[in-house]
A and B are shown apart, each in its own frame.
Chain A
Amino acid sequence: MSSQAVKPPAGLLSRRRHPERPIWEEEPTLVGRLGKPVVLALVFLVIAFPLYVVVVTSLSSTEAVTRAGGLVVVPRELTLAAYVQLLSGGVVTRALVISTAITIVGTAFSLLITVLAAYGLSRPGSLWHRPLLFVVLLTFLFGPGIIPSYLLVNSLGLIDSYASLILPTAISAFNLIVMRAFFMGIPAELIDSARIDGAGEFAVLTRIVMPLSKAVVAVVGLFYAVGYWNAFFNAMLYLNDNTKWPLQLVLRTYIVQAQVLPSGAGGVTATPALGLAPAPSLAIKMAIVVLAVIPVLLVYPFIQKHFTKGVIIGAVKG
């Protein structure tokens, strides 16, 4: 091939050939060259614009919201008043604390049992290795259904307990399989040599396997954490007492249903008729939305960092 002979075509829009472009590939057409950035920009805006508007509105003063007639696009008179009000006690502060606690405790618990099981199932020849793996894999095929699950949680006496938000969904078979796939990639020689040196199963797990698996443990942990933070259905099903509600359920009540939760401790139902507090302003509502997003945005760079290492993709491809 005469690789060096390719010359960019002359013309109004011609430019230096992109260094990444393979030598055999033709220059893009005019439509491609102009259309692609436009489409990419549109994709970016469709996702980023709603978030931008919500953040700006949450930071706007009451006057700015009134003047804009609702949501604020052009930021003026920024203030943290909405956040100060939300975080100074009351329904949202309590929900934030609950959601944070559930997320931390739940993630630690899920991660612990997932690591243990993934390690146990990753050693071929361990006791009942295949039937136990089958028990895990079978859960992909058939879900128990919400009514039997509800009746079970009810008969265990877990209604209105925080355990009902953690235990029923503590184990994700998908996460377990992802982690097991990673553990199986660890060379058996490493583990065998540790054994010869007298290490027991737990020593092998904590001293050999875990240090080699930081990436997958981080990703699976973050998946669990995001799952717990976002969970709303379990809480809706199992928590009748709205003073125990996590943030997502409060968000639903305030924004999706446009209702108000009584700020007192003994509220039973969340009907507007019982609403003792005045309807929250738009800035406050948007601030609740932002508070629900922030933790996800905080952990997201860490999740993304590990995508590039191929942890997820490798496992997804099987």
Chain B
Amino acid sequence: MVAPVIVLLLLFHYLPTLGNVIAFQDYSPYVGIRDSEFVGLANFSRMFADGAFWSALVNTLTITAFQLVFFFPIPILLALLLNSVLSVKVRTFIQGVVYLPHFFSWVLVVSLFQQMIGGAGLLAQSLRANGFQAVDLMTNPDGFILLVTLQAVWKDAGWGMIVFLAALSTINPALYEAAAADGANRWRRMWHITLPGLRPVIVLLLILRLGDALTVGFEQFILQRNAVGAGAAEVLDTYVYFEGLLVGDFGYGAAAGLFKGLVGLVLVLAANKFAHLVGEQGVYSRS
């Protein structure tokens, strides 16, 4: 019964993973994998000598760091806020609303942002109508990092909240009652009960995010790279697409993709190891 899935995974996941050998070849689709010339690490040394590659890597890491500071805490704050809402009706309604954008496609999210704050969007339109200079926040390279973070927050902050809400619901209410009886006010209860209760989940998600440091959302960037230019919007994934696939430089693009995959793998395993060292559960345990 498992066979169809295994066949699909072998064919569309493991076989192309092996196909990464072309990263070490001067690959030509006309000659094929078997007969393309083996060039060792030439693709990689060319990549490390390319300023555009470093720019893409720096962009990727900057965006990850920026989102760790400005995106990561928002689902936690939302969960705390919603958890403190007493009315079940209000809570369910707001939950329903904030989960919704997670199910929208990136094309849709970018379209909506464009209509709101783009050059022909509602913001520019009302600025013009009131005699101000119109602004286009969708094509400004300097504000791009803020823009993509806002989009990510709009789309996924509500969804990210689920895990924290679940963790909050597992905290024993008797703890709060006992603390209150001992005279702890709301802030001390949050500091000594709520946050320790959330800690395992926070650590887990931080690990997953750090392990995914080289992934910042492919579709979001590919959709907007033309509008703001490669200087700000080129990330590793789009670099592979534009410098490898679109120009038919397959071996080189595969090298960049393999670099990203391998570094990502090391990051996940390292982050997990670190979590075990500091006494948290981590993602995988050696059971």
Contact = CB atoms under 8 A, between A and B. Distances in A.
Given A113-B5, A141-B265, A47 B111 contact: no
B4 A113 contact: yes
Contacts of B112: 50-51, 54, 289
Given A50-B112, A233-B222, A293-B108, A43 B19 contact: no
B9 A44 contact: no
In the complex, which of the residues A143, A148, A169 has the most CB atoms of chain B within 10 Å of its own CB atom?
A: A148
Contacts of B87: 18, 20
A39 interface: yes
A88 interface: no
A114 B19 CA distance: 26
The interface size bin for chain A is 35 or more
A293 B226 CA distance: 24
Nearest to B109: A50
A314 B160 CA distance: 15
A20 B91 CA distance: 13
Interface residues of B, number: 91
B8 A145 contact: no
A69 B4 contact: no
B128 to A, nearest CB: 7
B104 interface: yes
Contacts of A22: 173, 176-177
Interface in B1-37: 1-2, 4-6, 8-20, 22, 29
A47 B101 CA distance: 8
Given A167-B8, A251-B107, A117 B1 contact: yes
Nearest to B255: A147
B105 interface: yes
Given A26-B186, A292-B108, A50 B2 contact: no
B52 interface: no
Interface string A195-231: 0000001000100000000000000000000100111
A257 interface: yes
Given A48-B97, A116-B4, A147-B245, A71 B125 contact: yes
Contact of A257 (B10, B121, B226): B226
Interface stretch (A8-16, A132-140, A186-194): A132-140
A145 B261 contact: yes
Given A70-B122, A117-B2, A256-B114, A142 B261 contact: yes
B116 interface: yes
B144 interface: no
A249 B106 CA distance: 11
Interface string A150-163: 11101000000000
Contacts of A117: 1-2, 4-6
Main secondary structure of the interface of A (DSSP, over half): helix
Interface stretch (A74-82, A265-273, A296-304): A296-304
B24 to A, nearest CB: 13
Contacts of A150: 245
B55 interface: no
Given A71-B125, A151-B29, A289-B112, A232 B105 contact: yes
A30 interface: no
Interface in B161-196: 162-163, 165-167, 173, 176-177, 180-181, 185-186
Given A53-B115, A144-B19, A296 B103 contact: yes
B85 A170 contact: no
A147 B240 contact: yes
A312 interface: yes
B261 A143 contact: yes
Contacts of B166: 313, 316-317
Contacts of B20: 144-145, 148
A249 B219 CA distance: 12
A69 B125 contact: yes
A96 to B, nearest CB: 14
21 contacts: A24-B181, A47-B97, A116-B1, A116-B4, A116-B5, A136-B9, A142-B17, A142-B264, A145-B20, A145-B260, A146-B241, A149-B16, A171-B5, A205-B1, A232-B106, A232-B107, A248-B107, A248-B108, A292-B107, A300-B100, A313-B162
Interface of B: 1-2, 4-6, 8-20, 22, 29, 78, 81, 84-88, 90, 92, 94-101, 103-108, 110-116, 120-122, 125, 128-129, 154, 158, 162-163, 165-167, 173, 176-177, 180-181, 185-186, 218-219, 222-224, 226, 237, 240-241, 244-245, 250, 253-254, 257-258, 260-261, 264-265, 268
Pairs A-B, 9 closest by C-beta atoms:
A148-B19, A145-B257, A230-B105, A144-B16, A148-B16, A120-B1, A117-B5, A120-B2, A24-B180
Given A147-B244, A230-B107, A233-B222, 9 more contacts: A47-B100, A119-B1, A142-B261, A146-B245, A147-B253, A149-B12, A152-B19, A230-B105, A304-B96
